[in-house]
Amino acid sequence: GKRQREEDALRTPPPKRRAPSGPDDLSAVVAGHCRTARRESPIIALKNFNNWVKSVLIQKYGRVGRGGRDALVRVLDIGCGKGGDLLKWSKNGVGEYIGLDVAEISVRQAEERYLDMRQWRMRAYFQALDCYRESIRDALPKEVFASPFQTVSMQFCMHYAFYSEHAVRTMLDNVATNLEQGGTFIGTIPNAEHILRHRASLPPGELTFGNPVFRITFPHPPPAPPAPEEQDQSAAFGHKYNFFLQDAVGEDEAGVPEYLVHWPNFVRLAAEYGLVQEYRKDFADLLNEEREHEVYGPLLRRMKVIDAAGESDMDEEQWEAASIYLAFAFRKR
Ligand code: SAM
């Protein structure tokens, strides 16, 4: 019946429906205007899905305000980009939002997006900052830290810290020192095991895999994960690959440098900062677990991940790109 069709639509994406070829030059003209640009995006279905995943994660782990309804809930969004999660946090009852990103233009767009929309119940503060090299506490006004944060969020950005152990430690210190006890640290990153499995299945000499939607290219020689028992964990950082995601990451197929996050290594390091893993889920598993949920299920339709007929607009190529990622949550001891 209909339910079965819905399930099929999500589990296996429908036969490839070619993305409508939008007016490329137009979207370039409006590139500075994210809302317009987004409507033109050929991977709108994938973006909707990613937004749904973030909404679920935010609702599951992003509301940990202690003292009841009236307590002020504060969130720190590291790598906030153009502020795509502002509405999600506001809807989740957050009272104060701090958005930081190394890219000044993005931070400005995030602030514009906030100011454009009136009747926010959430206060917001934005600043450009390299959160993998600088201390957030030293760089922001003292008042920002008058009370602690209940949640630190890093969506699709934490892996950029893994170029060095020092950068990861700076990032973790920024997360842990600003989080209250019992607070949560949530995020989304590419799954390194998944990427390495893909690489292992490539024919010898082949250093690239993907499809028109996304492309991963390894350097030569490719990085190898550190043995878990290895004492020198510095071997676990700087494992670079190049990543391209259509209309999102990188200008062309050459993409931008990204770094593998070797999970067991990261969990050990996070523990040094009092952060304990509570949740880790591949996007595909998250979808299968939450699609029937009384709140997150209907949200799939509202966020246009599936249409009224229960069909997904994501084609196989977009689905393949989406399944690279995992969502995580840690709790501060
Ligand atoms: N979190 C947003 C979202 O989910 O839509 C943006 C994700 S975007 C793929 C990755 C973001 O990480 C970019 O905006 C980039 O500027 C930011 N970023 C990369 N390195 C950073 C750093 N050292 N400090 C702060 N932000 C950084």
Q: In this predicted model, what pLDDT tens digit does every residue of 170-222 receive, in sequence order? A: 999 999 999 999 999 999 999 999 999 999 899 988 999 999 999 999 987 76
- Would the pLDDT of 8 be above 60? no
Q: What is the mean pLDDT of residues 146-159?
A: 95
The CA 300 to ligand 1 mean position distance, Å, reads 25
User: Ligand 1: which atom is nearest the Cα of residue 249?
Assistant: 9
Element (H, E) at 192: helix 192-200
Q: Is the C-beta atom of 157 inside 6 A of ligand 1?
A: yes
Q: Is the C-beta atom of 247 inside 6 A of ligand 1?
A: no
Is 133 within the bounds of a domain?
Answer: yes
The CA 230 to ligand 1 mean position distance, Å, reads 31
Q: The CATH number of the domain where 105 resides is what?
A: 3.40.50.150
C-alpha distances in angstroms, 71 versus 1, 23, 63, 145, 199? Answer: 46, 47, 11, 16, 48
Q: How many domains, the chain? A: 1
Amino acid at 107: V
State which residues form the domain around 63.
2-14+26-191+261-332
Residue pair 140/174 in contact (Cβ under 8 Å)? The answer is: no
The CA 80 to ligand 1 mean position distance, Å, reads 6
Is 252 within the bounds of a domain?
Answer: no
User: Ligand 1: which atom is nearest the Cα of residue 161?
Assistant: 23
User: Angle of helix 263-272 relative to helix 165-178, nearest 10 degrees?
Assistant: 50
Amino acid at 209: F
Is 251 within the bounds of a domain?
Answer: no
Q: How far apart are CA 84 and CA 68, in angstroms?
A: 27
Report CA Rg, the chain.
20
The CA 229 to ligand 1 mean position distance, Å, reads 32
> What is the reported pLDDT for 64?
55
> What is the reported pLDDT for 74?
94
Residue pair 283/53 in contact (Cβ under 8 Å)? The answer is: yes
Is the pTM higher than 0.80? yes
Q: Which of 111-120, 150-159, 290-299 has the lowest mean pLDDT?
A: 111-120
Q: How far apart are CA 333 and CA 330, in angstroms?
A: 9
Q: Is the C-beta atom of 79 inside 6 A of ligand 1?
A: yes
Confidence of residue 102 (pLDDT cuts 50, 70, 90): very high
> What is the reported pLDDT for 325?
98
Residue pair 62/186 in contact (Cβ under 8 Å)? The answer is: yes
- Strand order across the beta sheet in which 256-259 lies: 208-210, 214-217, 240-245, 256-259
Confidence of residue 251 (pLDDT cuts 50, 70, 90): confident
C-alpha distances in angstroms, 106 versus 112, 116, 128, 324? Answer: 10, 15, 9, 24
Is 243 within the bounds of a domain?
Answer: no
Is 212 within the bounds of a domain?
Answer: no
Q: Is the C-beta atom of 86 inside 6 A of ligand 1?
A: no
Is 107 within the bounds of a domain?
Answer: yes
Q: Which of 116, 58, 119, 107 is nearest to 83 (CA)?
A: 107
Tens of pLDDT, residues 20-51: 333 333 333 333 334 344 456 889 999 999 99
Q: How far apart are CA 102 and CA 328, in angstroms?
A: 22
- Would the pLDDT of 308 be above 80? yes
For all residues of the chain together, what is the average pLDDT?
86
C-alpha distances in angstroms, 153 versus 44, 81, 204, 206, 272? Answer: 23, 12, 39, 36, 19
Is 200 within the bounds of a domain?
Answer: no
> What is the reported pLDDT for 188?
98
Q: CA angle 41-288-17, nearest 5°?
A: 35
Q: Is the C-beta atom of 80 inside 6 A of ligand 1?
A: yes
Is 254 within the bounds of a domain?
Answer: no
Q: What is the mean pLDDT of residues 230-235?
A: 67
The listed range with the strongest mean pLDDT (23-27, 251-255, 298-302) is 298-302
Q: Is the C-beta atom of 223 inside 6 A of ligand 1?
A: no
Tens of pLDDT, residues 57-80: 999 999 754 445 557 899 999 999
Interface confidence (ipTM) of the complex: 0.99
